[in-house]
Amino acid sequence: MKEIILLKDGEIALKGLNRYSFEDTMIKNAKRRLSSLGRFRFYKAQSTIYIEPMEEGLDMEEAVERLKKVFGIAAICRTCVAEKNWEDICRLAPVYLKDTLEEASTFKVTAKRSDKKFPLNSPQICNELGGLLLSRFPHLRVDVKNPDVIVTVEIRDYAAYIHAGQLPGPGGMPVGSSGRAMLLLSGGIDSPVAGYMMAKRGLELSAVHFVSPPYTSDRAKLKVIQLAHLMTPYCGNINLHIVNLTKIQERMLDKCPEDLFTILLRRFMMDIAQRLSLKESSSALITGESLAQVASQTVYAIACTDAMVQQPVFRPLIGMDKEEIIRIARSIGTFETSILPYEDCCTVFTPKHPKTKPTLQMVLEAETLLPEREELIAEALEAVETVKVTMSGAAGYIE
């Protein structure tokens, strides 16, 4: 018995002539996610993407789990392939659907016939197959309004497909179809969620994480590499740049007003992130900021950080409550790692009374106290460590 997976796309289908390039990006992403499971063949026909296993014993359940995280896919359907004749459909349906139907109490049959030359019409298919399944599984009842299982028969160009309905895909746009952006990834709850949300709109991600050793530890850095790793089933590979801010922070502590420390630090971060972004042909920055969550996320503070950079800054969490953010973090599997209690460079030297209403003028004046700003940034960029994080790990850290 041959089993394959059908994918249907959602929003992409509305893209007119560009549809095919979006689909190709989605197929490329899906291929990559399945490649470590074995050989699959992908092809398109009748606005459906077909994924056919090319080896015996491939893990179809895991394949479906992985596809549930590939943005752009609207629905996923695991289905049995039958010859396009009534005998073969009747032979395979009870065998293929045995476990599902044994667990169900009610069912109905629906039929889709894109080949109108098939000898039975849709109501006939439903009646005949419904009767056959009732005789084989006598505990079942037909319920056309709210059945436990909808048995579907699709008569297409070259074959018939029998399945028990489709699963929702993750929706969104294929990663890479919207270009690339640089995520400021901390070890917290918010920034992985922000990255996930923008990847869902088709952005491929690079990431930057700022450390401040010895005030921040190796395990804090490892935690962030782990977070990036947890994002890869959704976002694909991530080039994670690790930038050392120790000298910049010590210098600021020495020379700048304490109550502006956080906002000055955030401007350094944005500045460095944008330089890395430009180097990677990435067109925007992404942060996990949420309005009023902390002192550095007031509208005044955000105005000062934004003024540092020219690239657009995407803040998908800006209007969300922590509870909503946590719900997403849990569902994508980053929450448990995010709450490990390790240091972040933002929490070393935090001022006791940070200014919640800084003005750009105040901030620019404070920055004149650091005339060596350019050299400090150049030095930090010189020493960047870049870790390539993939679904299978991160060389040197997660094997």
Q: What are phi and psi of 244, to 5 degrees?
A: -90, 120
What's the 3-state SS for 95-109?
A: HHCHHHHHHCCEEEE
Edge-to-edge strand ranges of the sheet holding 180-184 = 313-314, 284-286, 180-184, 204-211, 238-244, 385-390, 393-394
Between 185 and 238, CB nearer to ligand ATP: 185
Q: Are 182 and 278 in contact (CB under 8 A)?
A: no
Q: What are phi and psi of 335, to 5 degrees?
A: -55, -50
User: What one-letter code names the amino acid at 219?
Assistant: R
Return the closest-CA partner of residue 185 out of 334, 309, 79: 334
Between 227 and 276, CB nearer to Mg ion: 227
Nearest residue by C-beta to Mg ion? 188
Residue 346 Cβ vs ligand ATP, minimum distance, rounded to whole Å: 4
Residue 269 Cβ vs ligand ATP, minimum distance, rounded to whole Å: 6
| CA–CA separation, 247 and 379 (whole Å) | 9
Between 155 and 329, CB nearer to ligand ATP: 329
Tokens of 297: 């996320």
Between 152 and 297, CB nearer to Mg ion: 297
Nearest residue by C-beta to ligand ATP? 188
| Gyration radius of the chain's alpha carbons | 27
Binding partner at 294 among ligand ATP, Mg ion, none, C-beta below 5 to 8 Å by kind: ligand ATP
- SS3 call for 349: coil
What does the binding site for ligand ATP look like in residue numbers (CB under 6 A)?
Answer: 184-186, 188-191, 208-210, 269, 287-289, 293-294, 296-297, 344-346
Between 25 and 290, CB nearer to ligand ATP: 290
Residue 185 Cβ vs ligand ATP, minimum distance, rounded to whole Å: 5
What does the binding site for Mg ion look like in residue numbers (CB under 5 A)?
Answer: 186, 188
Residue 210 Cβ vs ligand ATP, minimum distance, rounded to whole Å: 4
Tokens of 103: 């667990």
Between 274 and 297, CB nearer to ligand ATP: 297
